[in-house]
Amino acid sequence: MPPPTVPLQRLGFLTIGLFDGADPGPGHETTLRVIELGERLGLDSAYLRNRHLQYGISSPVAVLAAATQRTRRIALGTAVIPLGWENPLRLAEDLATVDVLSGGRLHPGVSVGPPMRWDDVREALYPDTADAEDFSYERVSRLLRLVAGERAGVAGREGVVEEFSDRVQPHSPGLRSRIWYGGASLRSAQWAGQQRMNFLTSSVVRAEDGSTDFAAIQAAQIRAFRAAHPDGAAARVSQGLVVIPTDSASPDQRERYAAYVAARTPRTAAPQGPAGLLFARDLLGTSEEIAEALYAHAGFREVTEVVFALPFSFADADYEQILTDVATRLGPALGWRPAG
């Protein structure tokens, strides 16, 4: 486990990309500007959440396509695309296209399982095939095979100009190695390792074996992932806790941030819902205080890269302050250096 003397190698952020349903344009533009800010600050990656039938980014791949034309260096990711909403072949085409546009900077994160609120959306999403849809790990495996170039059709020419490929086009050779699995259970961590994927672990894990120690559970999942992965200790894992540094925050911002964290803290006391999900506490304070809390966190001590999650529903100026403090104060406190 890396002690404080081991520097953090990669530092990124994750945002939900909220917008006004009556006027969605400005919210999407704000998301793009936040990504541009991340690149200017030297952050290594910018990830978008995926929210269907909500007022958050519903099509992160489309938004990242726009981001490829407004950035040049920063890695662009999704955390995560729920594959229950997707056709793996069509998604493989979209991902490869954006990866080509980005010059090989796309890092797609995916997950499986039935879509959220399945009973409410099944008739709109799969009116004819709902009972036949497979929401198991095989849905991820199909995506991996198609991205890697597995045969999907028959190559040949038809007519004068119609030429067909036997695999997804465009084909982006390095994309398969940059696909992440977003998991919250020991089983998911082990499966992702067996598939030679990268592993995204967030501020949510599943309580297992009677334990309610979030950090210990997360650390065990990371170790299980690497034990199952052919690359072992070199297999990539990224942790995604919510951190809110207050170094340059105004008194008003500090007050609002504290209220936000206080409202969310009760859910961290015990497993939530039928799945027994455990939520990590949001880390609020100066960069020095947050760095100290991270080095005391068993999950953080297993990783050398992070994608810190921005809080929901904050103002643009808040995100600018938080990202700036992350890049200029918290990152250096963790031994990280900005890109470029």
pLDDT in tens, the chain (340 residues): 345 668 999 999 999 999 999 999 999 999 999 999 999 999 999 999 999 999 999 999 999 999 999 999 999 999 999 999 999 999 999 999 999 999 999 999 999 999 999 999 999 999 999 999 999 999 999 999 999 999 999 999 988 889 999 999 999 999 999 999 999 999 999 999 999 999 999 999 999 888 999 999 999 999 999 999 999 999 999 999 999 999 999 999 999 999 999 999 999 999 999 999 999 999 999 999 999 999 999 999 999 999 999 999 899 999 999 999 999 999 999 999 999 7
Question: What per-residue confidence (pLDDT) applies to 160?
Answer: 84
Distance CA 89, CA 327 (A): 37
Give the N- to C-terminal CA distance of the chain in Å, as an integer. Answer: 28
Cα distances from 155 to residues 120, 143, 163, 190, in angstroms, run 40, 20, 8, 36
10: left (phi over 0), alpha (psi -120 to 50) or beta: beta
Residue 19 counted as domain residue: yes
- CA count, 13 A, side-chain hemisphere, 32: 17
Question: Has residue 339 been placed in a domain?
Answer: no
39: which 2 tokens? Answer: 């690149």
The number of distinct structural domains making up the chain is: 1
- Structural domain includes residue 157: no
Task: Name the DSSP class of 156.
Answer: E
Predicted structure pTM score: 0.96
- For residue 281, what is the domain's CATH number? 3.20.20.30
299: in domain: yes
Residue 44 in domain: yes
Whether 69 contacts 38, CB under 8 Å: no
Report how far residue 331's alpha carbon sits from residue 230's, in angstroms, rounded to the nearest whole number: 30
H or E element in which residue 45 lies: strand 45-48
Residue 2 included in any domain: no
- Dihedral (Cα; 21, 23, 24, 28), 10-degree rounding: -140
Residue 81 maps to a domain: yes
Q: Which residue range forms the structural domain that includes residue 72?
A: 10-152+166-333
DSSP character for 327? I
Structure token digits, residue 87:
């056709």
Q: What is the pLDDT of residue 209?
A: 84
The answer to whether position 340 is within a domain reads no
